[in-house]
Every structure is written in structure tokens, then in C-alpha cells.
A and B are shown apart, each in its own frame.
Chain A
């Protein structure tokens, strides 16, 4: 186990919020077709309030701090907040569309020793990217910013959300990242809107397309292990937890609401009214989330994928039950391994992948 993984496990076991994601605004200069946010400002935390939150987070033991939005640079005080966070010795990661980053901003970010900048790019073709962001020339501006940041020696990652609108551009976008000399990450997850509207889910790529993602060695290097049928769950697996949400990770909205994760809209408290550590330690909702072990899950506890599934309790919550299955993750497990999930079997949805038979018969080795 790496030192970093050891620290993560220790934080998980001790209930220390090692990593926190803070959205500093929901306002944005883009209007991405798949975005789940309401971009109006309903009373964002002020500069002083956010600095107060950062003080509390440092005291609580938070080490990894992600600033995101909306678009973080819609706040004029954003770099002041980053500077404050760095003075408190957080590892700072920024998620941005980078449209508002010029040479001067890139230089400032470098000087502040920011760890990573993650930038959304949806295609290598300007017309496809701009059609998704709905901001003319956003591709050109984002790419220019990536070059500024890269030239400062910063670690830049292009983050691509795979959806129906850019499905065929995955390879090109990955090549673009390689040509620019930056990292690349891909996520096929589309999340329902914050108000519960699920119409945006129509942009999810069809499940049948997922094998092309999972079985692509350029995206998933450890093919054999990643796509292997799940091993039978052990007792230890059933004692395990879904993810770090509420255990060593949480999310804070621009209005001070605290949630177990950015993808888990279960309100647990508000830092305008309570101290962060009181919410973290005492919120009944937070404690409920962290009490759920695999053995408590409805349907999933009897699923062969229970030990290896990426089941997101937040997506399950949005489907109506935080202890239930997350359909999107059921699909991923199925198309990754070819083995149907308990939830799919229950609903009669399972079908074998056409390329890999579920039952494979190997010839017996005949002794000479």
C-alpha cells in the first residue's frame, strides 16, 4: 500500500475529513448541455465567510482541497481564496473551464503552488466542444489557457465527460491531450439536475457503448483485472463501505450547505449556522451515510459485483434509496465484466454482451 493510500485509510478509519470539495460559485460563463447546476446566485458565501470555512477545514484535518463550481473565475476574489488556502497549507486542486485564464493568471497559479488544474474539454473539434458549452470560441480560449498553464510547469488534466453529443470524439480528445502534453481523464457519468429533473440523463451514452470505453487499453491499462468477472464476495467485503463520502470526504456548496459528496444531495447542515466539525461529527444524516455497510444494501448485498462495483450511494439516493442500487453503476459493472448484476436480474434487464459469451468452455488438457 502506498504512503498516500495508507494515509487515506487512516483518515477513513478515524473519520477525519481528509478531502473536501468546495464549490465557490454556481455561476458560469458556459451553459453546458449536461450540467446539473442552477447558475443563478442565491446568496453565495462571501470572501470572509469562505476564509472562515477554510480555517475550520484546516483545523478539522482537511489536506486535499478542491475548488470548483460553476466556473471558479466568475468570482473576482478567487485567486485571493486560493492564496489563503495555500497559506493554510492545503493541497489545492482547481476545476475550471479555463476560459478566463490568461498568461498572468497562469503565472499567479504557479506562484501559489497549486497542485493540479482540471479543465473540461469535450472534443478535439471546436464545433463539437462549443456546441456542448454553448459559448462561442470557448474551445479556442480553453486551449490557449491550457498552454499558458502547461508552460508554467503546472500539472494540467483534461477532463472529458462522455455523452451522446461527443461519443465519437473520445479518441481525438485523448490524442489532443497527448499532443498538448497534459493528462487526460474520461467520465461517462451524467448526473440528474439538482432539482431532481432527470431529462439531462437522455445525454447518457447507451450502455451498449460502454464496452468500447472499458475494453479500450488506451483508457484502461489493466484490462485483465478491470474486466475480470467479480470474485465471490468475502465476509470482509460485506463489512465494507461504498466509498469515502461522509467517511473522509464531503462537499460544501456556494451557499454553505454541507453534503456527503458533490454527487450526493443529502443536506447535512449549513456552515452559516453550525460549525463544520459539528456537522461532520454530529449530523444524523452524515452518521446515517457512514453507517451503511455492503451487507445493509438492498439487492446489492446479494449481487456478485458487491466487492468490485463502483456503486455510487449518491446516485442511488437520487434514484430514491441510498441503500439501493445505482442503475448507472449496475450498467457499468455489467458492461465491464459481462456478468449481469442482481438488480438487472431482478428487473429482467440483463442480457449477455454479444462479444464475450457468459459461459466459456475451455478444452481439457489431455495428458500425452
Chain B
């Protein structure tokens, strides 16, 4: 565990790295900073600080691969890439048939350069991680609504598996959901900050638009959404059950859309141009929401589970 001083230093380094670099250069900077060692030693600090900063600066890295790998199990090569489920889904992306797998999903931009890709598939009551050669997968760079995110669509039929190992998918999913929720909260705070600064500076009718209650209440609503997601994230670490991670991801995804809506309205004309940075974050949160389960689908599934049980789970004791 990092002490307060170490944590602050590490946070500063990560803020500098994510503000100055993105993509492969950020991966290299994270290697220099020893981020994966920090992930092993103090996952809460490593994940919250990096992904929060990544969200705030709208930078990208392949750190999510490492978060999932660390949680999936001990026998996987640490430099492998991970195939994530398709947009909006959170069940494992692979189907195992003998010694080969079929897969459909998404991955970070680095997958093509990796020696190995990890494809998780259901197996019996549990899950198995199949190690495959990325060269055997069809990889399509995804432009979509957020070209800067640099993700690839992954597909493969009857892909030979070099090896298989038991995989803790439920834990890995929770770890990934927490990381993405931090990134969403970081991006949400960035959007709110942009809108807040604009509201204070922009003069109309002889006063800052921040003086108008309609504007103030939008921004207040946005802050409540961010703080709710942030509190759920802290709860997700304090009580690290799979359910609390999913709840944090759902609140972060929903909160980010709330913030995006209000920030877009407050930033008005300038926020609709590409001269302003808002659009970068708006695009980013829409896609991050979809990774490892979007807020709408997670919420519906939660409701279905509650209706099947007819009883609320006891989580997060005081």
C-alpha cells in the first residue's frame, strides 16, 4: 500500500504522463513509472489514479489489458492483450470448441503487436482463458464516433488455442468495470470543469451566464451525478463484490451522459465546434459507457435479477 506522500507523487507523475502523451507513448511512460508493479502492490491507488487521469485528459493506453490480466489468473503472460466483449456486453467474448475458440469482441490498439491474445470463454460452471496468436484473428481498426480511442474490432472462427488456463472472469470483469468507471468519472469532471469555466466567463445580458439559475441548476445536477458515481466507486473498492463494481460502472456511465448533456447545453455554440475540447469527451464517454456493460443494460439486468429474487441484496454495510 502506498502512503499518502507516495500516492500524491504517483498521482502527479500519472497526471503529467496522461496530459503529455497518449497511446503507445503513454504505455511506454507507464512502463517507466512502474505502473504495473503499483497495480500489483496497491490496485486501488494504481487503478483509480491512472484511469481517473486518463479520463480527465482523454488520453488512451492499453492499461485495461493489464487490469483484466492481473485479475484473470496467475498463469497468463503479463504482456498479452485481452479481447473484451462486444459493445454493451459483459459476458466473455469467446466460445470454446475442443482446442480452438470462436470470438467476437473489442480490444485496445496494441492487440496486433502482441505475441499473445487472451480470449475468455465459458467452460462448465466456470471460465477458461485461451491463449491465441493475434495473427489468427481478424482485427479491424474502429473509427466510429471516437477515432482517438484507437480500439479494434476482433473476430475469429476456429482459432487454435496454444494453451488454456482457468480464468476468474467475474473478478476480472469487476476490476475492468471499476477502471472504466474511474475513466468515466475523470472525463465527467473534465466536462463539468469546461462548462463551469465557460459559465463564469461568458457574459450575456450584462452578466456571466453562471448568474442564471437555469444554468446553475444544470451544473449542480451534473455535479450530483459525478459525486454519486464517485461515491459508488469508493464503495466498489470498500466492498469489492461483483455487484458493487457493476453498480459503479452503471452510475458512472449514466452520470457521464448526464454531465455531457448539461455541459453541451451550457457550452452551447462553442461547445458544438471542434475548436473546443468538449466533443472529445462527449465522444469518449459514449464509447466507454459501452465497454464491459453499458449503464442501460446493466441497470435492466439488475432489475431482472431483483425481480427474480424479490428481495434486495445486503451490500455495503456501514
Q: Are A and B associated in one complex?
A: no
